[in-house]
Structure 1
């Protein structure tokens, strides 16, 4: 292996770790907000009150789910060779979450405007996770 190739691989690994670190921080911030202040989170996130009455235990349950995927994302940043299956699990959760929102709109349980409201907090994270998973596939090979 040449020195140039080693330096390029090191830069790519550093970039991948940094991107996973940023994703971890975003997921962790949401998880901690949900766990520490469920009522505050419920009121602060646009569209959430449309999904049903406030239930602090339920918000914390979901917060634990987000904490789990934040920890998986962090583990992928630390152990890049394990990042692909870890991020695949994160993508599965976020993707199913996004599909649930689509299903609720299709079934008439949520108004169609929720597709726009949910774009940054539901659909975008699922898309980003899928792209990250694809980007990290070579690390697992």
Structure 2
């Protein structure tokens, strides 16, 4: 089970890391390429890069856990916290939209699934009390 969780975190780190780098290097392209993003408001390159930087921090936590679970667990928790809070923003925004189910379905693979996976791994592999 630990090996599977490490693989999940490494895979998430890779996918989300590519996303973060693209956000920071090509924010306008990213803004127009990701479904639903233009509906969130006008393009703001600084904001897109900020979110890319936050994703990169989460990626580092996922990667650290994948490489060294015992030492990297606190970083995984921090990364999972960002992903979970980000997912919460998407839930709120969907609840205010004209078609919340469509928004939730659209965001599930890229927003909710990574958050669920990171948080689940962090909970399952929480260090035992000494």
TM-score (norm: length of structure 2): 0.86
RMSD over aligned Cα atoms: 1.8
> How far apart are 1:16 and its partner, in Å?
4.0
Decide whether aligned partners of structure 1 residues 109 and 14 sit closer, same or farther in structure 2, where only a CA change above 3 A counts. Answer: closer
State whether structure 2 residue 74 is matched by structure 1 residue 80: no
Aligned partner of 2:49 among 37, 43, 60: 60
The answer (yes or no) to whether the contact 1:34–1:59 under 8 Å persists in 2 is: yes
Give the number of equivalent residue pairs.
127
| Structure 2 gaps, min length 5 | none
Higher alpha-carbon Rg: 1
Deviation larger for 96-105 or 78-87: 78-87
The answer (yes or no) to whether the contact 2:35–2:106 under 8 Å persists in 1 is: yes
Decide whether aligned partners of structure 1 residues 79 and 37 sit closer, same or farther in structure 2, where only a CA change above 3 A counts. Answer: same
Instruction: Render the CA deviation track for 1:8-66: whole Å, top value 9, x for unaligned.
Output: xxxx6554433322121012111111011101111111000000001111100100001
Aligned partner of 2:16 among 27, 35, 47: 27
State whether structure 2 residue 90 is matched by structure 1 residue 69: no
| Structure 1 gaps, min length 5 | 1-11
Residue 118 of structure 1 aligns to a residue whose secondary structure is helix
TM-score (norm: length of structure 1): 0.80
